[in-house]
Structure 1
Amino acid sequence: MAVWSHTCFDLIVCSKGTLFMEENGIQYDIGQGMMLVLEPGKVHRGYRPTETETEVYWIHFQYPLPSKPLLVDKNNWQQPLLIATEQDTEFKPGMIDIPKFATIDLRSVVPLLTDMLKLHRQLTQYRSFELQTLFGQLLTLLQNGMRKSSPQARSFFLGEKVASYLAGCLELPFDSERMELDLHYHFDYLARCLKQYSGMSPMQYRHRLQIDRAKRFLAQSELSLVQIGEQCGFQDHN
């Protein structure tokens, strides 16, 4: 059995059988429908032979290493708004969370992995970009699966729903009772979910969206200040 230490991450997805892996002395039995991420700089080996016919997808990838520990318990999914303009020429700093060792939905994951293999076997400069796009979809899929299975899943998705709701009715006066009726939850609970999601109250989040929209109108339109105020939901023209 080989023993190695890589400078990149290894993402292993088992589609059949069981693979027995060890990382820094910790043993993992990666059964069908499970995944494991091996971290760079740690010692890895197979600690026992497979007992049945086993098939795995194995992806090597690199990612800038943060200064904090790589493996952390996820206890929140806060999504604070980034400051963005219409003149941005570079991607904003991004992040994604994927599980270390978890059960996954092979029905959604395997088709992506199959498409990635097809592209990799006939790789060109154009297909290289497509391959990176598919890999991003795979990581997002793994992240969404982790969110859905977390204790915070309900509050996260409801916070996301509140944020989308507020963005869709900026030009209207703020109405907490209307929000309760439309989203079918008590306003206090909706506010707590949005606070966990964005770090802001509904009014703070709405005001942030209003200011951002007003900036875009001021920079790109010929509308008057009164018209811009109406489009952004400011009831007081002053």
Structure 2
Amino acid sequence: MNCRSRRFLSWLRIGHTVWKPGIVHAKRRFGVFDMIICAKGTLYMEEIGVEYEVEQGMLLVLEPGKIHHGYRPTEDETEVYWIHFQYPLSPQLVEKNNWQQPLLKRTDQDTESHPAMIDIPKFAAVDLRTVVPILTDMLVLHSALTPYRSFELHNLFGQLLLQLQKGMRKSSPHARSYFLGEKVASYLANHLEQPFDSGEMERELHYHFDYLARCLKQYSGMSPLQYRHHLQIERAKRLLAHSELSLINIGEQCGFQDNNYFTRLFKRQSSYTPGEYRKQYQVFRVDSS
């Protein structure tokens, strides 16, 4: 079997150092992000006039194009991990004011990638128990780097970013509403075939429906019924494209007992009737000859 490889264009370097007392970080300006994680001691850093005491268990992300340097020497032995990284579209560090997770409009026939986002802190505490094992594995890969190991290195870096994002969400004042919104979304996804029942949702998730609806609105930008309809139509699209089930059967499997309502809602959200969508996107045909 012949295979072709593709180059992974993002850029990433990782290092680890232990500084003795009396060391001052050099003055530098990079064209990439510089993520510093302090595992021991305290590193004193300044970026364009703003001072940061990067203590044990703290993370600081220095931004491209901005001058940074140490503003006072280390007082104790200081252990630091650093990661220099850049992607084809470099991330922007902005103030985080919501955790909304809007659903993307998609089909399984899409040929272009969808936008992807992740949130990481500028300066924050991190859980060394979860991030240091990932950093250690990254260092091992980086010590004997090959094109294939480079891809593995980026995969580990993605895991690290997800851990940092998880930590931000847990420490956010909106943490409870975010996780409840996530629970409501999961509940709706697992109950598509049953009739919508706000009382049953209250009993299973142990919160008043109005509060659950507000949490989902903050999480997704949708009401529970809107979110449910979106999931129902997405499931219907997959069944229309990948099965020979009748339109009535598909509607029932997506939670619609009224086929006329299913057709109206499907057209409102997709601009097609279910039959038109099947003709346009079905990935196979059954030969009846």
Instruction: State which drifts further: 193-202 or 212-221.
Output: 212-221
Shift, 1:89, TM fit? 4.0
Alignment partner of 1:91 is 2:104: no
Would you say the 8 A contact 1:10–1:58 is kept in 2?
A: yes
User: SS at the partner of 2:259?
Assistant: coil
Q: Give 1:90 shift.
A: 4.3
Question: Which residue matches 2:102?
Answer: 80
Structure 1, unmatched stretches of 5+, are: none
Q: Aligned with 1:14: secondary structure?
A: strand
Partner of 2:40: 16
- Match for residue 232 of structure 1? 254
Q: Equivalent residue of 1:191, what SS?
A: helix
Which residue of the partner structure matches residue 223 of structure 1?
A: 245
Partner residue in 1 for 2:144: 122
Find the partner of 1:25 among 21, 38, 49: 49
Shift of 1:65: 3.9
Aligned to 2:225: 203
Taking the aligned partners of 2:139 and 2:125, their CA distance within structure 1 comes to 22
Which of 166, 171, 184 in structure 1 is aligned with 2:193? 171
Residue among 44, 57, 62 paired with 2:68: 44
Secondary structure at the aligned position of 1:4 is classed as coil
2:263 is aligned to none
Q: Which of 114, 120, 124 is equivalent to 1:102?
A: 124
Distance of 1:91 and 1:54 partners within structure 2: 42
Picking from 61, 67, 70, the partner of 2:85 is 61
TM-score (norm 1): 0.96
Summarize the Cα distance change of 1:96–1:189 in structure 2 as closer, same or farther, 3 Å threshold: same
Deviations 1:52-87 (A, max 9, x none): 111100000013246xxx433212100000122212
Residue deviations 1:151-202 (CA, integer Å, cap 9, x gap): 0000001001100110111111100001001111100000000000000000
1:142 aligned partner, one-letter code = L
- Offset at 1:219? 1.0
Q: Distance in 2 between matches of 1:127 and 1:171?
A: 44
Counterpart residue identity of residue 196, structure 1: Q
CA contact (8 A) 1:75 1:152 kept: no
CA shift digits 1:116-173 (9 cap, x unpaired): 0001111122211111110000001001100100000000010011001101111111
Q: Secondary structure at the match of 2:35?
A: strand
| Aligned mates of 2:94, 2:83 — CA distance in 1 | 22
Q: Which is higher, the Rg of structure 1 or of structure 2? A: 2
Amino acid at match of 1:193: C
AA aligned to 2:49 is G
Q: 1:91: Cα distance to partner?
A: 3.2
The alignment's C-alpha RMSD in Å is 1.2
Instruction: Give the alignment of 1:120-159 within 5 angstroms.
Output: 120-159=142-181
Write the letter of the residue equivalent to 1:234.
F
C-alpha separation between the residues in 2 aligned to 1:29 and 1:55?
14
Q: Work out the CA distance in 2 between the residues paired with 1:136 and 1:195.
A: 28
Task: Classify the secondary structure of the residue corresponding to 2:82.
Answer: strand
Number of matched pairs: 235
Percent pairwise identity? 74
Contact 1:170 1:210 in 2 (8 A): yes
1:88 deviation in Å? 3.1
Q: Is the 8 A contact 1:120 1:131 kept in 2?
A: yes
- Give the TM-score normalised by structure 2: 0.79
CA distance in 2, matches of 1:58, 1:224: 57
Report Cα offsets for 1:12-37 as digits up to 9, x if no partner. Answer: 00001111111001111101110100
- In the other structure, the counterpart of 2:207 is 185
